[in-house]
Amino acid sequence: MKIIKTKQKLNKGFTLIELLIVIAVIGLISVLALVAVKNAKDKAKTAKLKADFKQIYTAADQAREIGGKVDVTGSGCSCCACINRGNLSILPDTHQCIINYKNWLNRLKLSTSLRDPWGSPYLLDENELEGGNCNYDGLFSAGPDKIWGAGDTDGIIYSHVSTMLGIRIPFYYCR
């Protein structure tokens, strides 16, 4: 009696199609996770921005009450040196924009290391009594593009001119 060997097909492992489907599903889950993480980071930055605005506004309001005057920084436009200076987060400490920023933080008794969520200095423009009219003071962040005066608009809280995010500080005294 002769034994004849036959080749049997082994059905072990996955087909190429099955592997591609698994890889596609993993990729889709990864993309969804990355989007969720980015949204969480954006919300955290917005929360920090609002908290910092409140802290600075409160300090400015207290300085107005104690000093009895509208201009609390002694500059009027401490942010003017920051206009069209490119990426504000990389300006050296010797730049007039940063010097003005640290000066008004000191006058308001705030930490000079305070920066917006993107690493740029906050920008304070005191306008209340300029031109004899009642103008709002403005407190701004250069926003995610880190540029003051960029020209595009995607403001989160109050957009003044560009991606600058800010608030209007209510009048202290108005003629």
pLDDT in tens, 113-123: 889 999 999 88
Architecture field, domain 49-169: 2-Layer Sandwich (3.30)
Q: How confident is residue 142, by pLDDT bands cut at 50, 70 and 90?
A: confident
* Tens-place pLDDT, residues 29-68: 999 999 999 999 989 998 899 899 889 888 888 877 777 6
Q: How far is CA 138 from the centre of its chain?
A: 16
Q: What is the mean pLDDT of the chain?
A: 78
Q: How far apart are CA 63 and CA 71, in angstroms?
A: 9
Helix intervals (H) in the chain: 16-67, 96-107
Q: How far apart are CA 169 and CA 137, in angstroms?
A: 5
Q: Which amino acid is at 161?
A: V
Q: What is the pLDDT of residue 34?
A: 96
Own/partner long-range contacts of 142-145 (Cβ < 8 Å, ≥24 apart): 142/82, 142/88, 142/116, 142/118, 143/116, 143/118, 144/118
The two tokens of residue 138 are 């403005």
Residue 166, beta-bridge partner list: 140
The two tokens of residue 148 are 């003051």
Among 58-67, 72-81, 143-152, top mean pLDDT goes to 58-67
Place of tokens 């960029």: 150
- Dihedral sign from CA coordinates of 109, 134, 48, 34: negative
